Amino acid sequence: MKYRTLGRTGVKVSRLCLGAMMLGAWGNTDPVECRSIIDAALDAGINFIDTADVYSDGGSEEIVGRALAGRRDEVVLATKVHGQMGRGENRSGNSRRWIVAECENSLRRLGTDWIDLYQVHRPDPSCDIDETLGALSELIRSGKVRYAGSSTFPAEQIVEAQWVAERRGRERFVCEQPPYSILVRGIEAAVLPTCQTYGMAVIPWSPLAGGWLSGRYRAGLAPDQLPVSSRIGRMPQRFDPSLPGNRAKLDVVEALAVLAEEAGMSLIHLALGFVQSHPAVTSTIIGPRTLDQFESQIGAADLVLEGDVLDRIDAIVPPGRTINADDGGWLPTSLTRPWERRRTPGT
């Protein structure tokens, strides 16, 4: 396993990061196998684990915390805050009130005294970024958090956060965690260059595009033969194979499968190698649900694709293009709420 520096922090992290979203009620409910996946990752040299409070309503953090008992110092541990946790108007978002309270909850679930990387899971249009950075700065100065980061922020908000941190004397985001895969290349236009400009680490999520690049989704399969993702109920726009945007992904996968075979590797390794080949990427998050899935991915830890293979990928999915726009992560409310872009008649 090779290691890279997390932005300009001096902290070394493995080129693959174990994502724990599928450990728990959202994916694998077998605590023994979940523990085995974490142990296998550590034994393979992975020293970077990423989770979030919302994953399985805190269950993922609890699983990770139990698995790291006695091995905490070996791991750069990352989690996130923003999503709705339980009932109540103020149990989500990026306010100081919620961040400070939820950090305590995450520390308890993780069974640790500190979080290495505390990330803001999504932007919050209702909250001033200075409010968010102020709360994170206090947590860092108290020793409960070591570094702060963002996740799925557009380039303009990454820039704003850097400027506010400089001008207001706040701790800055040291990394960004965006969606990135062969099927989801939108961040190549602005997010990745922006992170490079500010010396930020990049730790992409969903390099297998939520499983679409696992080899299990194929165009020749009948609808009832395609995998039934546990996320289809929560995110049908991304996982329902009957929708046009997802059918388009199947056609692309077929072309990529041919390329992978000709390149002498699995489609999974092609997908992971693609993400790792971008010079802005620090560590790629893998999110296995089973030990078999982990073993199918760990072999790509040191893989970087040759230029001719990357050129052929560019011919299949042009740089900067996202096949299904719903896979691109967070969208501003100005695009998702019609009433924000329509003047009320008579005004």
Q: How far is CA 31 from CA 34, 63, 77, 265, in A?
A: 5, 7, 19, 32
Residue 168 neighbours by CB under 8 Å, 6+ apart? 130, 133, 134
SS3 281: coil
Burial of 123 (0-12, 13-18, 19+ CB in 10 A): buried
For the question of residue 198 being annotated catalytic, the response is no
Burial of 116 (0-12, 13-18, 19+ CB in 10 A): buried
Q: Which entry of 3, 55, 180, 198 is annotated as an active-site residue?
A: 55
E strand or H helix that includes residue 286: strand 284-286
Helix, strand, coil shares of the chain as percentages rounded to 5?
45, 15, 40
Q: Which residues have a catalytic role annotated?
A: 55
